[in-house]
Amino acid sequence: MGFFKKLTRALLNPFLTEAKGPAAKPVKKVRASLTSRKAVAKKSSKKKPLKKLSKRKTQPKKTAIKSQPQVLSGTYLGKVTHFFPQVNAAAVTIESGSLEPGQELFFKGATTNFKMKINSLQINRVPVTSASKGMEVGILVKKRVREGDEVFKLP
């Protein structure tokens, strides 16, 4: 018998029996009883019939219907060329008409659809009182707008 086998037997010797004294059982018997329990458990485990699932009553999906303002009698003003999210401002190129603070605008796009009053109107970061065709102005907006959104002036 080699050195390592003797060493492992010496180390495992205390674990070869469950307890010391007259009630000590060798591990082999314990293992045998465990294996027989597993066999009994396997034999006695019968497949239980599946419970019948009750049919759930599904509710139809609710579609969100938002009442969005529509351009009724607005005149086309121009397009959004850029949006500045840090200050919530839009750069708008005026293609027709003129614009002054206090007027009401309507922003219309693929995901944009709202109207608002102009509080701040700037050209090159300088506040102005009016802007006309061909100018690019900065307007503070209440919601996010996207490049290409159309801008309408409401009466």
pLDDT in tens, 87-143: 999 999 999 999 999 999 999 999 999 999 999 999 999 999 999 999 999 999 999
Residue-level pLDDT at 6: 74
Confidence of residue 56 (pLDDT cuts 50, 70, 90): low
Tokens of 30: 């314990």
Give just the sign of the alpha carbon dihedral 110, 112, 117, 122. Answer: negative
pTM confidence score: 0.54
Query: Rounded to an integer, what is the distance from CA 69 to the centroid of its chain?
Result: 28
Query: Domains in the chain, start-ordered, CATH in brackets?
Result: 75-154 (2.40.30.10)
Residue-level pLDDT at 79: 97
pLDDT digits 0-9 by tens, 111-127: 999 999 999 999 999 99
